[in-house]
C-alpha cells in the first residue's frame, strides 16, 4: 500500500486534491461501512469488487471507477477469486459537487466506465509520489479534463449565468476605461441585443446602468478613502471629462463628488469623536 498527502499553503478554495494512492487488495479485503468527509474516487485497474452505498450494490470491474460523496456511508470489498487493484484520489472544494455532475456522477449513480483515459491520468498523479504541490495541481487538472471529457466548458459556455458572470468580470477588469455594451458583447462573442436582454432579465438593470453604477461605487470609495482630486478620481473610472463624471455622480448619489467627500469626512470625524470619547 502506498499513500501520499498533498500539502501546500496554496490550497485553492475551489478544488484541491488532498491525498492519493494505490492498493493491491487481498482476496475479500473490505473497507467500511464508513463515512467520508471529502470526495473520493476509486479507479479499478484490475480485478473485481463490490460497492455498497445508498442501499445499492455495484458490481465493479477493471476499467470502471466509482465515487463516494462526503457524509455518505459506504462499504466496499474485493472479489474473493479476483481481488481488485485500485488507485484513489480524495479531493474537496466548493467546485467539487458541480464537477462530479459534469463528469456524469450523481447521488443516484456512483459508477462510471472509463472511455477517456481517466485511469492513465490518475496513475500519473500516483506515480509522482511526494512532490511539490504545484506539480500535483498541474497533473490534477489533466485528471479533471479526462474525468469531464471536455464537457466542463461545454456545459457552461452557453448559459445566461455564465455570459453575465463573464460580462461582469470584463467590466471590473476594464473599469478604468470607457466601456461600451458592444465591446462586452464582442468579448463574449454574442449579439449585443442578446446580451442586453439576458442582463436585464437576470439583473433587473441594464448593462449600461450596471457599468455606471459600478464606476460610481468605485469612485465614491476613492473619494472617501483617498486624497485623489476629483479629476483623478474621474480618470480612474474612465471619464476624461470631469464635468461629465460629476453630472453622473450627482445623478447617482444626489450630491456632487465634493459634497460626498465632505459628508464622508464629516461622518468619519463624528465616528472618531464618538469612539475616542468612550
Q: Please give the backbone phi and psi of residue 130, each rounded to the nearest 5 degrees, phi first.
A: -80, 125
pLDDT interval class at 270 (50, 70, 90): very low
- Contact between 64 and 112 under an 8 Å Cβ cutoff? The reply is yes
Q: What is the pLDDT of residues 56-106, one digit of tens each?
A: 999 999 999 999 999 999 999 999 999 999 999 999 887 788 888 888 899
Q: Looking at residue 267, what is its pLDDT?
A: 55
pLDDT interval class at 219 (50, 70, 90): very high
Q: Looking at residue 262, what is its pLDDT?
A: 85
- Contact between 78 and 29 under an 8 Å Cβ cutoff? The reply is yes
Strands 39-46 and 64-68: antiparallel
Give, in words, the CATH class of 160-273. mainly alpha
- Contact between 133 and 88 under an 8 Å Cβ cutoff? The reply is no
Q: Lowest-pLDDT range, 32-36, 62-66, 97-101, 161-165?
A: 161-165
pTM of the model: 0.55
C-alpha cell at 181: 455594451
Tell me how far apart the alpha carbons of residues 72 and 105 are, in angstroms, rounded to a whole number. 14
Q: Looking at residue 187, what is its pLDDT?
A: 86
Is a pLDDT exceeding 60 seen at residue 256?
Answer: yes
Cβ burial, residue 158 (10 Å; 0-12/13-18/19+): exposed
Q: What is the mean pLDDT of residues 112-135?
A: 89
CATH code reported for the domain at 2-154: 2.60.120.280
Query: Omega into 33 within 30° of 0, i.e. cis?
Result: yes
Tell me how far apart the alpha carbons of residues 38 and 70 are, in angstroms, rounded to a whole number. 5
Task: Match 459508477 to its residue by C-alpha cell.
Answer: 111
Task: Match 496554496 to its residue by C-alpha cell.
Answer: 10
Q: Looking at residue 136, what is its pLDDT?
A: 87
CA 21 to chain centre: 25
C-alpha cell at 96: 467539487
Domain regions of the chain by residue span: 2-154, 160-273
Tell me how far apart the alpha carbons of residues 100 and 67 are, in angstroms, rounded to a whole number. 9
Q: Looking at residue 1, what is its pLDDT?
A: 66
Q: What is the pLDDT of residues 185-217, one digit of tens each?
A: 988 888 999 999 999 988 889 999 999 999 999
- Contact between 78 and 27 under an 8 Å Cβ cutoff? The reply is yes
Amino acid at each position: 500500500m502506498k499513500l501520499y498527502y498533498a500539502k501546500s499553503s496554496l490550497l485553492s478554495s475551489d478544488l484541491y486534491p488532498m491525498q492519493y494512492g494505490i492498493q493491491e487488495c487481498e482476496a475479500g479485503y473490505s473497507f467500511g461501512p464508513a463515512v467520508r468527509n471529502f470526495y473520493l474516487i476509486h479507479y479499478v485497474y484490475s480485478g473485481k469488487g463490490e460497492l455498497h452505498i445508498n442501499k445499492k450494490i455495484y458490481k465493479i470491474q477493471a476499467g470502471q471507477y466509482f465515487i463516494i460523496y462526503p457524509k455518505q456511508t459506504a462499504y466496499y470489498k474485493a472479489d474473493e477469486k479476483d481481488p481488485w487493484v485500485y488507485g484513489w484520489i480524495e479531493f474537496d472544494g466548493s467546485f467539487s459537487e458541480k464537477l462530479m455532475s459534469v463528469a456524469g456522477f450523481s447521488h443516484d449513480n456512483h459508477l462510471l466506465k472509463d472511455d477517456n483515459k481517466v485511469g492513465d491520468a490518475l496513475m500519473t498523479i500516483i506515480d509522482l509520489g511526494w512532490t511539490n504541490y504545484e506539480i500535483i495541481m498541474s497533473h490534477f487538472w489533466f485528471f479533471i479534463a479526462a474525468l469531464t471529457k471536455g464537457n466542463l466548458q461545454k456545459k457552461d459556455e452557453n448559459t445566461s449565468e455564465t455570459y453575465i458572470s463573464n460580462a461582469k468580470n470584463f467590466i471590473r477588469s476594464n473599469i478604468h476605461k470607457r466601456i461600451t455594451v458592444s465591446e462586452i458583447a464582442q468579448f463574449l462573442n454574442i449579439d449585443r441585443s442578446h446580451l442586453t436582454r439576458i442582463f436585464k432579465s437576470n439583473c433587473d438593470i441594464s448593462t449600461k446602468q450596471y457599468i455606471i453604477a459600478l464606476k460610481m461605487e468605485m469612485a465614491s470609495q476613492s473619494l472617501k478613502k483617498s486624497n485623489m482630486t476629483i479629476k483623478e478620481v474621474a480618470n480612474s473610472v474612465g471619464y476624461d471629462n470631469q464635468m461629465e463624471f460629476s453630472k453622473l455622480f450627482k445623478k447617482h448619489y444626489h450630491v456632487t463628488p465634493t459634497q460626498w467627500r465632505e459628508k464622508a469626512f464629516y461622518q468619519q470625524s463624528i465616528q472618531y469623536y464618538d469612539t475616542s470619547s468612550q
